[in-house]
Structure 1
Amino acid sequence: MNLKVETFTLCALLFTVAAIMNSVYAQEDPEVDIGGALRFNYNLSSWKTEQKNRGGDFGYDMFRINANAAYKGIYLNAEYRFYSEAFGGGMLKQGWFGYRFSEKDELQLGLTQVPFGIQQYNSNNWFFNLSYYVGLEDDHDMGIKYIHLGENIEYHLAFFKNAEELRFGNDTEISHSRYSYDVAGRNKEVNQFNGKFVFKFGGNVLQRIGVSGQYGSLYNLDTEEKGDHYGLALHYEATYKDWNLKGEAMNIAHNPENTLGSSGEVILMAAYGAPYEVAADFNMYTLTLARNVPVDWGPVSALQFYNDFGYMQKKEDDFEDSAMNVTGVLLTAGNIYTYIDYAAGLNHSWLGGNYIDDFSRGTPGAKWEARFNINIGYYF
């Protein structure tokens, strides 16, 4: 994208915001709603010998603050999270201004969710699905997004100037203290366009079938040239009584303009305070199944049983594929939500093996590793 196009895009964005400001309806009093959550975590991992000897670890996970506000037709949605320093410390998960033109049409500006694939989550468990770990689930970037939620047709159109930027230097890499995974290192995501279209139908079985696409540039800090990246996805959801099924197929490619001698087969991605390698080109397939069961066990009012599966098929012949499966149950007791998960991974950076290159080259002959995890959170 050349300078004229970038300037035009910025002007269009500012014009849109100005138009909104001039068309808001009167609202006498500001509205503010503050919430949040405190979560603790227990885990026992198959690849951590000393942890197994002491019976696992139980400790702090995260504290977060949510803010929703509205005044004169403009509203705010923000969430700030506090993790330990080892997991990136404090970070803004999302934060955007919004305006509703009608019950069906909405505009969002700021750090907003990228419209790609099944949302809000392509999973049911605490770990998310494999798509999250490569920036394709619950991803948030800096830009502007238009949403139309019709009875049978839903579409999302967005432009993202870049991923969340914290440093604003001339040639600085992105900060690793972030919630969602983005391209890191000497490449930066810039000028990305997204489109998502969903057709909704069904009587007893509510169904959603959709297609998503994204295309953007990768700016290399060393060569000062722009490569590109794209993603395509086909997704399907079905809900029947207390059952829910989600399936998605994705095709992803990254083409960075690296320095001579640097591999184009691998990109760096980062979140939670640390980067790792990811295969530049891959297909991904996910399938989840969940069932809700109402119960009356004292404070426990509901159970949700689920199984979430993801498979990453890497394009390079000498790369080892990655996979993930999580079986678990969510317990609801008043404001307390407890995830009890058995998460297994193959060439998975967060589930055993080698953290740095499991999602890129992987390890030949790698075995499945597993983590038993209990996450307890009070949401207010």
Structure 2
Amino acid sequence: MSIQTDSRRLKALTLSLSISAAMAATAVQAAPNDQQTIEALRAQLQQMQQRLDRLEQQQASAQTTSSGNTAASNSGSNGTSAKDSGSRQTAASANSDNSGASALSMAEQNKATLDEMQQVEFSGMVEFGYSYQDWSESSKDKAGDLDFNKLVLAIDGEHDDFLYSMEYRFYNGYNFLKKGWLGYKVDDENTVKAGLVQTPFGNMPYGYLGWYGNLPYLAGFNDNQNAGVLWERDAGPWNTSLAFFKSDNLGDDNQHYGANAIGSSEQGNSEENQLAARAAYTFGHGTDYTTEVNASVKGGQLYNNNTNDSGSNWSAALGVSGSYGNWLAMAQATTYKYDAENAPESETQISDNVVQVGAFNFNYLIPAEAEMYTASLGYSMDVDWGPVENIYFYNDFSYINPRGDYSPYNGGFGDVDNPMFNDIGLKLTAGPYYLWADIASNKNGLGYFGSGDANKWNTQFITTFGFNF
């Protein structure tokens, strides 16, 4: 600001102050009893006096600075020209503009981040369970057991045409990644996923309707996850999938969700370099009464860590799945064979008629070659029972017909009746809370249930309760 400009402002303010003082005096004479008017005018005079004092100080400071700059210029010092001052003002203005632009840019970035976060879904589950086993003396003596079941944390989201999904589970003493994949939506019908994805096989997504599952699930065919690349095409009534799996699961141990051959077991087999394909057609697509018919195959290398030799494995399934209003129904027939290159039975203490598979932190034995059959029925009904919103009834039955001798006990040596398993129960839903109540009965059920009575039906009552978030 120049000295002349300050001088002009000083004169103008002095004149204004004089006029205001005169107006104040006139106002006092005209309205001697109007105390509010008097106080208001006094406040205005005080404010104008303060402004006058500040201008006088600025004028004195400017005169001192001008004298110093003139002396420096006359002595050959590098003084600052008006052009330089203008440049600084221009730079300051530019910096101010840049600051505004930066703030705007940050606001846009924050908005974009918030928009992206709105496409991300975080979810989870906490679950506890009660079980009573009729074959266990300790369970009978204690009237069952109450345990922590699991904690589930999951994230699903998308960004433009990119998709991702992850689910991690914590159990009592162990934990694992159930699924975890990255995907790309090629178009409205085609999607490619890479990572730990669900195997396209049999009735999807689970192959059963209840809580516990069925024998094809326990044997590792339905509702299983493998590590590789999956292509899916969903075109109206047609649904087709093709996958390549480098490994059956991430690592050789048994800490995973779906059952697979375990490379670190005594027998030492692991499923590698697998191909899987599935095709399904839905009659009545887009209605409340649909029937899906599907066919699927899977097979590949069966590598043995003890012999360093490779065998093979293959499986195929035909399935039908229907939804008819409140009713659900499904059935499936599966055939499979593991042709392993095992070490001698005397070394492994495991029969060649079985394959050692594992899941949920323990190993068990399934027939090396067999046919499996399943049938399921469910009914879902909305209710108004206080907080209870829905009640769901279901029954899953499954049966295995081994080719050759099979026993889930004693390392697989011996022969037992064909394994069977039935799970009947209900589910109650109340907002985020749920309760499953199962009566699970098995006969020679792959050794999965912990029952050691061969050729007898063994039953356990299971109640599972938790909440989703």
TM-score range, shorter chain: 0.7 to 0.9
1:98 equivalent in structure 2: 183
Unaligned runs of 5+ in 2: 1-110, 406-414
* Letter aligned with residue 269 of structure 2: N
1:240 equivalent in structure 2: 324
2:298 equivalent in structure 1: 214
CA–CA distance in structure 2, aligned partners of residues 250 and 54 of structure 1 = 40
Q: Secondary structure at the match of 1:175?
A: coil
2:339 equivalent in structure 1: 255
1:175 equivalent in structure 2: 253
CA–CA distance in structure 1, aligned partners of residues 149 and 393 of structure 2 = 23
Q: Relative to 1, partners in 2 of residues 1:68 and 1:314: Cα closer, same or farther, differing over 3 Å?
A: same
Q: Please tell me whether the aligned partners of residues 179 and 225 of structure 2 are also in contact (alpha carbons under 8 angstroms).
A: yes
Q: Relative to 1, partners in 2 of residues 1:311 and 1:63: Cα closer, same or farther, differing over 3 Å?
A: same
Q: Secondary structure at the match of 2:139?
A: helix
Q: Secondary structure at the match of 2:129?
A: strand
1:130 equivalent in structure 2: 215
Q: Secondary structure at the match of 1:377?
A: strand
CA–CA distance in structure 2, aligned partners of residues 152 and 286 of structure 1 = 24
Q: Relative to 1, partners in 2 of residues 1:274 and 1:76: Cα closer, same or farther, differing over 3 Å?
A: same
1:61 equivalent in structure 2: 149
* Letter aligned with residue 209 of structure 1: V
Q: 1:49: Cα distance to partner?
A: 1.4
1:117 aligned to 2:202? yes
CA–CA distance in structure 2, aligned partners of residues 142 and 324 of structure 1 = 29
1:344 aligned to 2:441? yes
1:92-128, CA deviations, whole angstroms, 9 ceiling, x for partnerless residues? 0000001112232111100000000011111122111
Q: Please tell me whether the aligned partners of residues 416 and 444 of structure 2 are also in contact (alpha carbons under 8 angstroms).
A: no
CA–CA distance in structure 2, aligned partners of residues 247 and 76 of structure 1 = 31
Q: 1:158: Cα distance to partner?
A: 0.4
Q: 1:28: Cα distance to partner?
A: 4.6
2:451 corresponds to which of 343, 353, 356 = 353
2:420 equivalent in structure 1: 323
1:298 aligned to 2:403? no
Q: Secondary structure at the match of 1:52?
A: helix
Q: Please tell me whether the aligned partners of residues 351 and 371 of structure 1 are also in contact (alpha carbons under 8 angstroms).
A: no
* Letter aligned with residue 104 of structure 1: E
Q: Please tell me whether the aligned partners of residues 351 and 370 of structure 1 are also in contact (alpha carbons under 8 angstroms).
A: no
CA–CA distance in structure 2, aligned partners of residues 275 and 320 of structure 1 = 21
1:231 aligned to 2:327? no
Q: Secondary structure at the match of 1:119?
A: coil
Q: 1:187: Cα distance to partner?
A: 1.1
* Letter aligned with residue 368 of structure 1: W
Q: 1:148: Cα distance to partner?
A: 0.7
* Letter aligned with residue 448 of structure 2: W
CA–CA distance in structure 2, aligned partners of residues 204 and 332 of structure 1 = 22
Q: 1:58: Cα distance to partner?
A: 1.3
* Letter aligned with residue 152 of structure 1: P
Q: Please tell me whether the aligned partners of residues 247 and 287 of structure 1 are also in contact (alpha carbons under 8 angstroms).
A: yes
CA–CA distance in structure 1, aligned partners of residues 276 and 148 of structure 2 = 36
1:190 aligned to 2:272? yes
Q: Please tell me whether the aligned partners of residues 213 and 230 of structure 1 are also in contact (alpha carbons under 8 angstroms).
A: yes
1:126-174, CA deviations, whole angstroms, 9 ceiling, x for partnerless residues? 11111111101210000000011111211010000012223xxxxxxx1
Larger relative contact order (C-alpha < 8 A, sep ≥ 6)?
1
Q: Please tell me whether the aligned partners of residues 332 and 374 of structure 2 are also in contact (alpha carbons under 8 angstroms).
A: yes
1:169-204, CA deviations, whole angstroms, 9 ceiling, x for partnerless residues? xxxxx1121111110121111010000000111366
Root mean square deviation of aligned Cα: 1.7
* Letter aligned with residue 203 of structure 2: I
User: What's the % identity of the aligned pairs?
Assistant: 29
The count of corresponding residues between Structure 1 and Structure 2 is 335
1:38-74, CA deviations, whole angstroms, 9 ceiling, x for partnerless residues? 0000111111112112211112100010012333432
Q: 1:264: Cα distance to partner?
A: 2.7
Q: 1:273: Cα distance to partner?
A: 1.1
Q: Please tell me whether the aligned partners of residues 344 and 351 of structure 1 are also in contact (alpha carbons under 8 angstroms).
A: no
Q: Please tell me whether the aligned partners of residues 310 and 323 of structure 1 are also in contact (alpha carbons under 8 angstroms).
A: yes
Q: Which structure has the larger Rg over C-alpha atoms?
A: 2
Q: 1:254: Cα distance to partner?
A: 0.3
CA–CA distance in structure 1, aligned partners of residues 161 and 318 of structure 2 = 35
2:283 equivalent in structure 1: 201
1:276-329, CA deviations, whole angstroms, 9 ceiling, x for partnerless residues? 111100100000000111100011011111111000111114453111001101
CA–CA distance in structure 1, aligned partners of residues 131 and 435 of structure 2 = 13
Q: 1:259: Cα distance to partner?
A: 2.3
2:373 corresponds to which of 282, 285, 301 = 285
1:371 corresponds to which of 460, 464, 467 = 460
CA–CA distance in structure 2, aligned partners of residues 332 and 103 of structure 1 = 33
1:79 corresponds to which of 163, 167, 170 = 167
Q: Please tell me whether the aligned partners of residues 364 and 448 of structure 2 are also in contact (alpha carbons under 8 angstroms).
A: no
1:269 equivalent in structure 2: 357
Q: Secondary structure at the match of 1:121?
A: coil
